[in-house]
Amino acid sequence: MRQSQKTEPQADRLSRIGLENRKYTRARSTDYGEGKGMSVTIQDLVLDRNNLNQAYLRVKRNKGAAGIDGMTVFDLLRYLRENKAELITSLRDGSYKPAPVKRVEIPKPNGGVRKLGIPTVVDRMVQQALAQVLTPIFERVFSDNSFGFRPHRGAQDAITRVVDLYNQGYRRVVDLDLKAYFDNVNHDLMIKYLQQYIDDPWTLRLIRKFLTSGVLDHGLFARSDKGTPQGGPLSPLLANIYLNELDKELTRRGHHFVRYADDCNIYVKSQRAGERVMRSITQFLEKKLKVKVNPDKTKVGSPLRLKFLGFSLGVDRNGAYARPAKQSQKRVKQALKLVTKRNRGVSLTRIFEEIHQKMRGWLQYYSIGKLTGFIQRLDQWLRARIRQYIWKQWKKFKTKVTNLQKLGLSYQDAYKFASTRKGYWRTAHSKTLNYSLTNRKLEHLGLINLSKPLRLIQSD
């Protein structure tokens, strides 16, 4: 099922304004007296009351951690009531100065860390207000092959395009890996690419202020000479604006490609063509865009083996289809293994809630793929994990006998089975425990049957 990213009502309204020129400084709007010879600037649109209200609501809804000033999203409304006039004045006259972002490191699934920069909630609101105005402008120039962080587009749409390209005969892929892309964006080039479409000094100055606001890492301040820190509402849009230059170059050369943020795959028909494209595009990225290509991870291969956005491709008599990559399957199984660890010492109810919370999102994301067989095997394995957990919870011999009797065993059979010296995992697979703790009983206790929500999602 396709998941669309929501567009703010203000952004929808702006998309209908009818910005007339390729470089945008002013726009005609009925909201601002069109027909009376009046026009509005991008600054007017950003500081418009409705736009700021929408930005506030979006920031509050997204929650997120506090920045370096410790202010939370719940404190923001009171701050705005007391300081709104000063904030708008400082934005309008150019004296507004963003605070340094707070450095946070998030572990990556495959090792290493992802560096995030958390702006203050006030800065997040201003960034959001700016993004709401700029997004409809740049949506007009972004490539149809770009899917990341864009309204009404998502990873599932990107994978659908990949399947189509494979079925058209593009059986080799150049899998580009940009090394620390968000940390290496060149600020001067970013402003240059913005200026291609926006001829508005106020907007460009404000964006540069956010780019150069600096980072506070464990109390130490560091200048921001390059990069656009992940974590702010403006960062995804700026990342797409920068890499739109790559999209334009690939389109100019006639290549078929799919890009999701900094993940870009180029599809060709032969290994030799792929290697040639990889060399030339690497040169373009490093010399023209000043970003680094990771030579160890950038490769030419088959979409049947390589991973893109957590998916690989499979092929049957009907053609190509998407499926969760083997790494994605192992990762979700490992996550469930940690949740159902037999010595956790938490209630079954909590475990079932954690499983449900984890798997609903996972199933929704991978539902466009072919995964019925994997889910059936995962269901079977997960039920064994829960039987093991329950057996460990019963602990004492007397408790085991009593509970087995409640599940329908005679006293003699319950006594005999409770005396087993088999390990927990072997016991979980025994005929007796499978007969007493049936699939239906586990589901009645609260364990999700993963096959059922998958069928519902795929039938929508």
**CA 221/CA 58 separation, integer angstroms:** 29
279 Cβ contact list (under 8 Å, min separation 6): none
Would you kindly state where each structural domain of the chain is located, as residue ranges?
43-151+187-216, 322-459
Q: What is the pLDDT of residue 107?
A: 80
Residue 294 confidence (pLDDT) above 70: yes
7 Cβ contact list (under 8 Å, min separation 6): 135, 151, 152
Q: What is the pLDDT of residue 39?
A: 64
pLDDT band for 25, please (50, 70, 90 cuts): low
pLDDT digits (tens, 9 = 90+) for 142-156: 999 999 999 999 999
Task: Please give the C-alpha separations between residue 211 and each of 183, 190, 227, 309, 324, in angstroms, as whole numbers.
Answer: 11, 10, 7, 27, 36
Quote the tokens at residue 236.
Answer: 């995804």
The pTM assigned to this predicted structure is: 0.85
pLDDT band for 413, please (50, 70, 90 cuts): very high
**CA 306/CA 313 separation, integer angstroms:** 8
**CA 165/CA 365 separation, integer angstroms:** 21
Residue 264 confidence (pLDDT) above 60: yes
Percent of the chain with pLDDT over 70: 91
Residue 6 confidence (pLDDT) above 80: no
Average pLDDT, the chain: 89
pLDDT band for 17, please (50, 70, 90 cuts): very low
pLDDT digits (tens, 9 = 90+) for 180-231: 898 889 999 999 999 999 989 999 999 999 999 998 888 888 888 888 878 8
Question: Cβ–Cβ contacts within 10 Å for residue 33, how many?
Answer: 12
Q: Cβ(159)–Cβ(40) under 8 Å?
A: no
The residue with tokens 């990889």 is: 278
Of 15-29, 136-150, 187-201, 401-415, which gets the smallest average pLDDT? 15-29
Taking residues 8-24, report their average pLDDT. Answer: 43
Taking residues 50-57, report their average pLDDT. Answer: 97
For the chain, the C-alpha Rg in angstroms (whole number) is 27
Q: Cβ(272)–Cβ(181) under 8 Å?
A: no
pLDDT band for 10, please (50, 70, 90 cuts): very low
Taking residues 97-117, report their average pLDDT. Answer: 84
**CA 352/CA 79 separation, integer angstroms:** 40
Of 19-23, 82-86, 414-418, which gets the smallest average pLDDT? 19-23
Percent of the chain with pLDDT over 90: 80
Q: Cβ(203)–Cβ(42) under 8 Å?
A: yes
Taking residues 87-103, report their average pLDDT. Answer: 95
Per DSSP, the residues of 264-277 read: EEEEESSHHHHHHH
137 Cβ contact list (under 8 Å, min separation 6): 19, 24, 197, 198
Q: What is the pLDDT of residue 19?
A: 37
Q: What is the pLDDT of residue 217?
A: 85
The β-bridge partners of 293 are 178
**CA 9/CA 15 separation, integer angstroms:** 10
